[in-house]
Structure 1
């Protein structure tokens, strides 16, 4: 049902309507000459004009009201709600809408689901909810409950032209946002809130709260660890919970063979209702990062409702001497043993780890003050099933460890390092003082790569073809050339570049990647034609390194001998990849192609290995980035630096290094440069700079294994590497009297630093530089503020499970304070009881113009009928209003009426026709003569009036006037003529003697008489 009324935005202007009586008082007498009817019509128009303008000034609005109701059901889908309850929610909504929605009133209903985020499952529409079996919307992670996000989305989704009500189905355990505060704002908008509680049915719950470790654990010093376990039971008389408590210690550095995890405690435990604290004595003798884990396993499953909150962990790091992690290529182990030995001699602890046993988390890197990548390519290995790679997450950990946590990072060269090792374009390149891609124009087309794609009979074959092509293109530099050959119904053809097929990657990379996404390789019948096309294009290329990759199942017929010779004669290698091969024949065919051209053969059974293979093969075209000189060149120190203090300016000769490009930044310092090649920006041997809170450096030659063998007997070898590494390392000196503590509370990690000087006096007004890194390597802002003498406090949100790392530089010259905080599970699993207080507060939010909401019975299978009987579409809310400004129309109508007022006053209109409409036919003949007679009389009167006016302006001289008088009068006439040029006056202003006489002769008669008298006087 709809209603209509007027409203005003500025009602104070309505007082101007009291001017209407004054308008009538001033206009009634002034409009009297218009006659009775026209005067009243003009007054009517003027009244309407004034009224319209006043209403426009008051902001008149048209308001429609409606009693239709829109109900949005907000369903909590977080992890704290069991799956059975989620299905029960959906059944309740379907039945409640079908029972209570008023079809005639066209009520609407919709569904919003929420967890950490909220999304619309069914938008509000005027029909019943369809009988769906499960919810289809994706709400992201369910490890948190954000009621606020659901309320915001619901307010935006509901139409404003209906009354609005929310029905929230939840347990009330909100851990993100502030739903109660937002509910108050919704009530001001007239939105009502009903609540359907969810009560968890388990009788008991066990929650491992935390593992508490001392903040200042020292090497070899005994300490006490405590485990806090909270037990929730159903009633005070409930029996205690029986189970086992296990505590383990994980050493992140220990090898898997020696055992990283140690069992410290495993004993039967009885939990009383409430908090239970267990103590554990321990001692750590080896510096390393450690993770303590505590887990409770109940004897009976019904004693614990949620398994995710049965485990907690804590992180600590025992710091010893300066420690360095050296990562080497697993396929070339032992090349850097000499350097590691010399560093240990200089009291630097070195841990060597091969590239196939990399760190798994940022926590492991906290045990090291610097990381050395010793000639490591990004992709290592030769066999398809043993290829390993530094994925983006590992690279990101290395960079964050330096930029945010202050560790050093050193890259050492080799034949497969820097740009030659596939590191171009990564975040690691951004962290280094040099660019890995050479931009010198003298080094053009350093590599050319042709890829031949054959539609293989493997699962998702076309998908993997595109993935591997993208992986290969990503490895190439901007000046490298690339081309893709595929077969379609028209035969073998290049995917881009026309007949040439090869184009530089730099300016064409976006178009190349787009073409690869559209590519659909066909089942080519023979290798020969496509290989001849590849050989011809690679031969025409000016690249220094030329390579071809073939991916196939081996089914096409083999190439001819002349085609193989074309590759061999032009020094073009071919690597082949057999995927879903057709038996021994197909594999042998591909193996022969690779062997005859000097390439490699890969046999792949898992398509996921394909991208790594193509990354490995794409590196071959980057080999020209390596500069080698058999006669040797002697590097020279060109910039003094603490890392080179006491070292001779001229270093022993080296026979090779990797070409790089010095970054265009004043922060990048080139310390050692080679005399060859002559381009200084490409001949860097050692460069350093500060990157974030840490330092990075590059040594483009090796440490003595291949290119720098003369350095092995160099007297300053130990000094050179030890000083360089020490300059990079995170400061490991005495941290002074700074105490760092952390705790997790209410979804926040609180960091507290206590600062004292040598005399135990408080250190105040310190400008601490602090940073934190989250579980997903994201930067988290952290600002420390002084809250008391010598006490500094900061906090940041911990809304994700995982390890958070905090690094604080308390003051200049002090070693950084580093710690880790582990959040084992989301706050979603910390609370077990229904938050009835929040649910009641939501329902009591009284909407503007309506009544408070209601809290139903808890939703359960046995009480479903009672909950469904709750009418969510009831009245009790303010009627919905739709409002539209109407003042422009009132102004327009007032302007039109003003024109009507002008017309009534200026245009005389006869309304005699109104009388004729009511006259009888007999009276018409009698009234016509009388009207004609009246017109004739009126005409005669007007004629007489005109004659009198004409006579009134005549003038005749007196009869007795003589000639002299005539002359005088003529002179007077001349004077009157002269005066006629002056401004005219009204007749009433003329002299009395000139007033014409009614009985006098005419002017002509008097003039003739005067002439006769003049003639007579002349004769006499």
Structure 2
């Protein structure tokens, strides 16, 4: 319950910081708990009970004390009732929402922007303090101009970054507008859109906005296309067998408004597997029907995952408004024997040839892929039952142009292929593999049974990396500095040290602050990343100071390998030769990266630094290569993870795993391996350990576990190139590695017969599985476990249920374009069913009309206490001026009401008044004293009243002195004085003489009583005179 007391004629002016006039608003007072105001009846009771109790204070002080107490009680009651100020504003805020999705032509987007700018210019009332704002949206929404009290700037185009615009998300735009509105004004949104939503639902949000008092106007955008061509799909059979001919069909739709005129163009169909692409069809065709179907015969001889792509290119561009819907993809898988993909370092081709031949001798098909020609989609990986990373580093190469690395997306594909699709994943060791190859802190490390970082302080596997960042003059220099710093930090382990030097207003300094240069990464990783995200290095004038700081800190750091990286344009003053010599003598190598260098001189400076200290020199012409370079160089500090003890080491069987089943108990010696740390999980199994080092968690040679739907394994040594030389001549070489690969591979055989098919319908993928046994009888009541993976590599829920005998169905939403992969597990020990579905393009590119019913629904919403919105006619160049006549700043909306609690101030004021009550009761103050003092200063002469008072006081003072003298005399008269002893012959004579003398000097009683009576008379007269003086003074007042 709330009671509002409005000051009808009261107005308050609010002044904006821009010094423009703001709106006038009514000021009111409201109470959150008005029933507590009844406590005000206690104030009269306070007076009745306290008036007599305070009588001793006098009349004035008693009234003051009661007044203070009443004010304290009143303020306390107001605070308890929740007193508030209420402002009712006449301001209006209008925010325009502009649809920037791909379904709206660019020309119309410019018209929409001009409409918003001119509408604000014509109708916004500056004196009222109206505000305007602009929000643009596609797949996401962004604020182009926040609401402020001025016209929208005249701009040529939208500047906000919206990311992908292949969808319309009006819901996100409405939510953003509602959050952006100020509270002190009436609110209205003006929506300019075609109304075709492909993401979210605007209706519930619009309803909530209307209930909150926000008005909604709508300006429709027409989508009427004269002609449009749409490649709907490629229809592939559900069960394609190896070597069996089949028919695929391409379905193309033609939309026209001006009749049935045929559209002529070229139709292409390509089939792709890995990096190999084959053109199956390339010919001119004529689209003479609304729906055109083109059948094509094909045969697939090799098991693999195949991607088909069909594309139609019209001869006349006017026949097709959108090009994004002219392509369609389809995916199919041909099953065969188990296949393995082995990825090797492109700098060492054929290094694992012996392993490849050993697997092929064991009847395992192996495809070899170089690290500079990697897969580009999850669909390519799905064709393989196991992937082997054969001693390959994450980044490799010696020049900026020749560096190849696994991107974050490719690493994610490898992990998802195991976790969700069930493929095996094996990592083989080597000098540039595992933690020594830059794989730490990646999704790959999470999928492996071991960590690639050493957390044991007893093992001296510590490196130190210093970085000097000076790249601010390249395009987006600060952005790339943050990227490369974080990329290098990802490679470092928790025991490693890292430091970053930058140039700022105080000169060269460590990014971590103070004198702390090289810090251990483990406990500081999160803080380091945070600092890197906020750093803004300046233009460094001289290399020498920064290099001296780095040298001093690196020398003092307890690390076995130390390295430094400099990124610069080469413009700073070159360092002295002496400091480069000190780096070399301390075995600290410096690698340099030249970006946007200032001519040959800059290149020479950076190249000399790298050459003198033994580092690498890079010239980066593309900033995108910088993170790869820094990851490559940061790997140098991971070299302590390579463990090569003198005399080698003896691997030992430690667990009866099926990988080592049938092998001899004694394994050949190894010359070394890469140190790792076992994950703390009961699922991890360690079939082979090393005899040393002594720490069990770092003795792992072979570790395995199950990860999601698949299996992963790590063999920390190589397969014969450097450390396992004795293994290549070992009789169990082929058996061991073939058993390792077969254990990791997903099952490829099944006693049952399964077929799986997918169908894309209205943004949804339907999955159908048919199950038969060997006798072609239906398999019922199976517990099928299924999962789908979207183009963004994120899992999608997929539940399979039995719909008929031997038939199981499921579905998942597919709202984005791209390839969707499906994996169905029929049961334990049975081969998984893998398939795919392709959504050729977003719903944004389908041929549709303006969704007028939905727009009418939005405009028809009526806010409480207001009127419904306005639906205009469609906006185009011809109707622009007419639409501008409509006032978007009109009334018809509830006025904005803003409140501010003032009860805290009541409590503060009550505390002050309480102190006043205490002061009045405890302290008696002569309130006339200041006036008297002032009058005396202004008139130095005494007034008659003051002279009389002074004379009386002087008389009293004289009388007091007289009485004091008489009292002193009386005291002197009664004072005892000792007598001199009389001379005599004996003690008795002297005593007799003393006694007689005392008797003679003893005073008699009557004189003493007369003296006391006289003294009492003096005191009484003195008191009487004082009282008389006080009465006279009071009468004169």
TM-score, length-scaled by structure 2: 0.72
Partner of 1:339, secondary structure, is helix
In structure 2, the CA distance between the partners of 1:796 and 1:535, relative to structure 1 (3 Å rule), is same
Deviates more, 1:410-419 or 1:478-487: 478-487
Deviation, structure 1 residue 693: 0.9
Query: 8 Å contact 2:272–2:307 — kept in the other structure?
Result: yes
Which residue of 264, 270, 275 maps to 1:248? 270
Is it true that 1:638 corresponds to 2:654 in the alignment? yes
Equivalences for residues 274-673 of structure 1 within 5 A: 274-444=290-460, 446-451=462-467, 468-484=484-500, 501-510=517-526, 512=528, 517=535, 519-520=537-538, 522-524=540-542, 538-549=554-565, 553=570, 556=573, 559-560=576-577, 564=581, 570-577=586-593, 594=610, 597-629=613-645, 631-673=647-689
Query: 8 Å contact 1:445–1:542 — kept in the other structure?
Result: no
Partner of 1:142, secondary structure, is coil
Distance in 2 of aligned mates of 1:530 and 1:7: 64
Distance in 2 of aligned mates of 1:773 and 1:860: 42
Per the alignment, residue 799 of structure 1 pairs with 815
How big is the alpha-carbon RMSD for the aligned residues of Structure 1 and Structure 2?
Answer: 4.3
Deviation, structure 1 residue 765: 3.8
Equivalences for residues 132-151 of structure 1 within 5 A: 132-151=155-174
Deviates more, 1:317-326 or 1:149-158: 149-158
In structure 2, the CA distance between the partners of 1:167 and 1:336, relative to structure 1 (3 Å rule), is same
Distance in 1 of aligned mates of 2:507 and 2:171: 60
Which residue of 680, 684, 709 maps to 2:725? 709
Distance in 1 of aligned mates of 2:840 and 2:240: 21
Per the alignment, residue 40 of structure 1 pairs with none
Deviation, structure 1 residue 590: 5.7
Deviation, structure 1 residue 867: 3.0
Distance in 1 of aligned mates of 2:516 and 2:899: 67
Deviates more, 1:610-619 or 1:800-809: 610-619
Is it true that 1:830 corresponds to 2:846 in the alignment? yes
Query: 8 Å contact 2:213–2:864 — kept in the other structure?
Result: yes
Per the alignment, residue 926 of structure 1 pairs with none
Deviation, structure 1 residue 206: 1.0
Deviation, structure 1 residue 320: 1.9
Which residue of 80, 90, 102 maps to 2:113? 90
Distance in 2 of aligned mates of 1:782 and 1:666: 29
**Gaps in structure 2 of 5+ consecutive residues:** 1-23, 36-81, 904-1037
Deviation, structure 1 residue 368: 0.9
Distance in 2 of aligned mates of 1:499 and 1:83: 55
Which residue of 761, 765, 772 maps to 1:749? 765
Per the alignment, residue 195 of structure 2 pairs with 172
Distance in 2 of aligned mates of 1:591 and 1:164: 62
Distance in 2 of aligned mates of 1:488 and 1:110: 37
Partner of 1:449, secondary structure, is strand
1:597-636 per-residue CA deviation (whole Å, 9 max, x = no partner) reads 5444445455544443332232222222112245333312
Deviation, structure 1 residue 82: 0.8
Deviation, structure 1 residue 241: 2.1
Deviation, structure 1 residue 136: 4.1
Per the alignment, residue 210 of structure 1 pairs with 233
In structure 2, the CA distance between the partners of 1:78 and 1:503, relative to structure 1 (3 Å rule), is closer
Count of aligned pairs between the two proteins: 837
Which residue of 267, 271, 275 maps to 2:288? 271
Deviation, structure 1 residue 592: 5.8
Deviation, structure 1 residue 87: 1.8
Distance in 1 of aligned mates of 2:94 and 2:369: 61
In structure 2, the CA distance between the partners of 1:242 and 1:707, relative to structure 1 (3 Å rule), is same
Deviation, structure 1 residue 133: 4.0
Deviation, structure 1 residue 731: 1.6
Query: 8 Å contact 2:580–2:613 — kept in the other structure?
Result: no
Query: 8 Å contact 2:234–2:310 — kept in the other structure?
Result: yes
Query: 8 Å contact 1:576–1:594 — kept in the other structure?
Result: yes
Deviation, structure 1 residue 150: 3.5
Deviation, structure 1 residue 125: 6.5
1:906-925 per-residue CA deviation (whole Å, 9 max, x = no partner) reads xxxxxxxxxxxxxxxxxxxx
Distance in 2 of aligned mates of 1:455 and 1:839: 50
Deviates more, 1:245-254 or 1:848-857: 848-857
Distance in 1 of aligned mates of 2:611 and 2:218: 73
1:79-105 per-residue CA deviation (whole Å, 9 max, x = no partner) reads 111111112223333444555667898
Distance in 2 of aligned mates of 1:245 and 1:469: 48
Per the alignment, residue 856 of structure 1 pairs with 872
Distance in 2 of aligned mates of 1:742 and 1:695: 27
Distance in 1 of aligned mates of 2:548 and 2:112: 66
Distance in 1 of aligned mates of 2:30 and 2:585: 92
Per the alignment, residue 681 of structure 1 pairs with 697
1:49-74 per-residue CA deviation (whole Å, 9 max, x = no partner) reads xxxxxxxxxx9999999998765543
Distance in 2 of aligned mates of 1:873 and 1:536: 67
1:237-288 per-residue CA deviation (whole Å, 9 max, x = no partner) reads 342222222222122253xxxxx2424242322232x222221111111222
In structure 2, the CA distance between the partners of 1:135 and 1:670, relative to structure 1 (3 Å rule), is same
Per the alignment, residue 25 of structure 1 pairs with none
Partner of 2:711, secondary structure, is strand
In structure 2, the CA distance between the partners of 1:126 and 1:214, relative to structure 1 (3 Å rule), is same
Deviation, structure 1 residue 398: 1.1
Query: 8 Å contact 2:580–2:609 — kept in the other structure?
Result: no
Distance in 2 of aligned mates of 1:854 and 1:562: 75
Is it true that 1:262 corresponds to 2:262 in the alignment? no
Equivalences for residues 100-119 of structure 1 within 5 A: 110-119=133-142
Per the alignment, residue 45 of structure 1 pairs with none
Deviates more, 1:369-378 or 1:776-785: 776-785
Per the alignment, residue 223 of structure 2 pairs with 200
Query: 8 Å contact 1:432–1:696 — kept in the other structure?
Result: yes
Partner of 1:654, secondary structure, is coil
Distance in 2 of aligned mates of 1:686 and 1:384: 35
Deviation, structure 1 residue 213: 1.0
Distance in 2 of aligned mates of 1:699 and 1:302: 60
Deviates more, 1:587-596 or 1:405-414: 587-596
Is it true that 1:821 corresponds to 2:837 in the alignment? yes
Which residue of 737, 744, 753 maps to 1:721? 737
In structure 2, the CA distance between the partners of 1:62 and 1:767, relative to structure 1 (3 Å rule), is farther
Of structures 1 and 2, the larger Rg is shown by 1
Partner of 1:651, secondary structure, is coil
In structure 2, the CA distance between the partners of 1:496 and 1:161, relative to structure 1 (3 Å rule), is closer
Distance in 1 of aligned mates of 2:818 and 2:253: 21
In structure 2, the CA distance between the partners of 1:103 and 1:599, relative to structure 1 (3 Å rule), is closer
Query: 8 Å contact 2:542–2:575 — kept in the other structure?
Result: no
Distance in 2 of aligned mates of 1:605 and 1:879: 59
**Gaps in structure 1 of 5+ consecutive residues:** 14-58, 255-259, 889-1020
In structure 2, the CA distance between the partners of 1:567 and 1:233, relative to structure 1 (3 Å rule), is closer
1:658-705 per-residue CA deviation (whole Å, 9 max, x = no partner) reads 111111111110000111222221111111000111110000111122
Query: 8 Å contact 1:429–1:435 — kept in the other structure?
Result: yes
1:169-208 per-residue CA deviation (whole Å, 9 max, x = no partner) reads 3222222233345555666667665443222354111111
Per the alignment, residue 27 of structure 1 pairs with none
1:880-925 per-residue CA deviation (whole Å, 9 max, x = no partner) reads 5869999x9xxxxxxxxxxxxxxxxxxxxxxxxxxxxxxxxxxxxx
